[in-house]
Copies of this chain bind each other. A is one copy, B any other.
Amino acid sequence: MYMSHLECPKCSAKHDPHKIIQLCPECGAPLLVRYDLNKVKANLKKEDLVSRKPDLWRYRELLPLVDDKYKVTLGEGMTPLLALDKLGNKLGVELYLKDEGIIPSGTFKSRGAAVGVSRAKELGVKSLAMPTNGNAGASWAIYSAKADIDAYIVMPVDAPAITRNECAIAGAKLYLVNGLISDAGKIVGRAVAKLGCMDASTLKEPYRIEGKKTMGLEIAEQLNWEVPDVILYPTGGGVGLIGIYKAFRELQQLGWIGDKMPRMVAVQAEGCAPIVKAWEEKKTASEFWNNASTIAFGITVPKALGDFLVLDAVYQTNGCAVAVTDEAILKDQAELAAAEGAFVCPEGAANYTAAKKLRESGWIKPGEKVVLLNTGAGLKYPDTVQVAVPVLEPEQDIPV
């Protein structure tokens, strides 16, 4: 076990990692897990990973679980990094898709849930509550079921229908709210106080981000420890982006990669772009986005608790933030499927739209190595595909 302490990125206070803790007791900011990376460096070589199981637990030394007996796993991680040759050639770059659709529950949320629930179990948590745009709730519901933890999940009525099924069949205590994830968050806030359960809201516990961090570790390992030039990430709560940034920083400290960092791009929809607005105004925090709305439902987050960490990662890596339209997202979702066979979620397609925009503007240069993070399977969003299919009677023929 190499976890050393919890650290507040705002006030720098250090905290004991061996008890249940939510936000920084001193200033209310989200906490980050720190490790004794010198000790990791001394005991682990990157070559040691080769023979390990292809899941996120291969990075055991960089994860916060103390005792493996609390590990709650459904086989998550080591998702494919696919070369998108056709679209890459079209854009004049080396294009990759990190496909988080190939994971339990079909979204990257399962990484956070696997590590978050495992650690909650280790700390003796019996029940937890969280607001969600659907996918995180589904993931936490199935991992909580496996861990025998009661999960209270609150999601907007507009969240993808399939995520309700996942929560329900896993036995979670599921509620819908006539409103946005921010409204769900307020209901959860009140419930946590009343029910005495752990608050598993985005960044209100420090372990979910450690699970998501493994996306960055995998990208580095899959590219044979060569750091890509650009990573595009669809940004709602932003934990994935923060996690990937944290991963590359830790890899630098381990000496497994050099000084180069990937330029991190926060991609949002024009209907909900608080991070983009803050970045354009060179601010270090975002403002609440009114009337948020986009078909990329997972990134409908009007104000993210970790906005300052997202913006910091973007600034520190000379990255940027880009907003794209719903119309372009849907068009590019179809282009990705028809050209590369990748049926990604709208949030994932938004990255491709953004990459095209940044390539056109010259911000992405010819030949650069560019990774699109597809956060989930298109399967979870059946309504984004319009189909009008001819129906034949058994005796009819396919028209020639």
- Please report A residues at the B interface, Cβ cutoff 8 Å: 50-51, 54-55, 72-75, 78-82, 99, 101-106, 129, 142-147, 152, 154, 157, 161-162, 164-166, 168-171, 173-179, 183, 186-187, 190-191, 194-195, 333-334, 337-343, 377-380, 382, 385-387, 389-394, 396-398, 400
Told that A165-B387, A176-B389 touch, could you supply 14 new A-B pairs with CB distance under 8 A? A50-B50, A75-B79, A75-B81, A75-B102, A106-B106, A145-B339, A166-B343, A169-B334, A170-B338, A170-B343, A187-B392, A191-B398, A194-B400, A195-B398
**Chain A interface mostly helix, strand, loop or mixed?**
mixed
CB-CB < 8 A to A152: which residues of B?
398
- Count of this chain's copies in the oligomeric assembly: 2
CB-CB < 8 A to A103: which residues of B?
102
**Are A340's CB and B146's CB within 8 A?**
yes
CB-CB < 8 A to A385: which residues of B?
165, 168-169
User: What is the CB-to-nearest-CB distance from A78 to chain B, in angstroms, rounded to a whole number?
Assistant: 6
CB-CB < 8 A to A176: which residues of B?
389-392
**Are A389's CB and B168's CB within 8 A?**
yes
Q: Tell which of A80, A103, A190 has the most Cβ of chain B within 10 Å.
A: A80
**Are B183's CB and A394's CB within 8 A?**
yes
User: What is the CB-to-nearest-CB distance from A156 to chain B, in angstroms, rounded to a whole number?
Assistant: 10
CB-CB < 8 A to A400: which residues of B?
194-195
**Are A397's CB and B190's CB within 8 A?**
yes
The 6 A-B pairs with the shortest beta carbon distances in the complex, nearest first, are A75-B80, A54-B54, A146-B341, A165-B385, A142-B341, A183-B394
